[in-house]
Amino acid sequence: MKWIIVTGDSRGVGREIVHQILAETDFGVIGISRSSEDAAGELLAIYPDRFKPLSYDLTDVDGIKPLYMEKIRKIGPIYGLVNNSAMAYDDIVSNLNVQQLQTMFQVNVFSAMHLSKYAIRDMLLHKTQGSIVHISSISAHTGYKGLSMYAASKGAMEAFSKNTAREWGSKGIRSNCVVPGFMETSMSTTLTEDQKARIYQRTSLKKETDISSVASTVLFLLSDQAKSITGTTIHVDNGTI
């Protein structure tokens, strides 16, 4: 069996991605999040041999190597990686706090890059023509007050993805980004209803982005149906303008 790593799998779009992979493919899923093992009961009951939850704090960038060497690679060959886990540090630039900024970049950028590093090495070892999908954000493409620093972390991953695609395309390894619009997730709970309404008015469909639609797009990019798609970003954002 080949495996797909999904970070931030315990809730929101990450959990939906895991559900769709397990329900619609033959791949196994390695879920990584701080609460992955605690939230795994339902999926383990249905897919005891195809779902492996690992609890890990992605702010610990230096621990990614032992995580891979001691746990992930022993599970089986890696076919895919979905870098979904993210934390938001929302504030205006004049209030920038370096410690909070560093913590956000550790999760959103540095750990995602390190996981990509070991996923690619695993694909090369097993001669796997695999797929990497990074979950970006619409904030990297259009401005929102208070999100400049978060948007910068997502913009960094989009640039990383495009160049990764160029580096490893000759080995059949693909790298793409999915750019969701604003969704009803734990990261949006701090927004008031009025703030949400103003955000949704900037979209063509005038409503929040559907989580299952985002997950379905990720599943498509992981599949052979997307075997000629790499180095690109796909917007699932209700037509944000």
What's the Cα-to-Cα distance from 187 to each of 18, 137, 191, 207, rounded to whole Å? 19, 12, 9, 17
Q: For residue 150, indicate whether it is catalytic.
A: yes
**Is 215 within 8 Å of 183 (Cβ atoms)?**
no
Distance between CA atoms of 235 and 196, rounded to whole angstroms? 19
> How far out from the chain centre does Cα 154 lie?
10
What's the Cα-to-Cα distance from 55 to each of 50, 52, 104, rounded to whole Å? 17, 10, 18
Catalytic residue among 47, 89, 118, 150: 150
Tell me the catalytic residues: 150
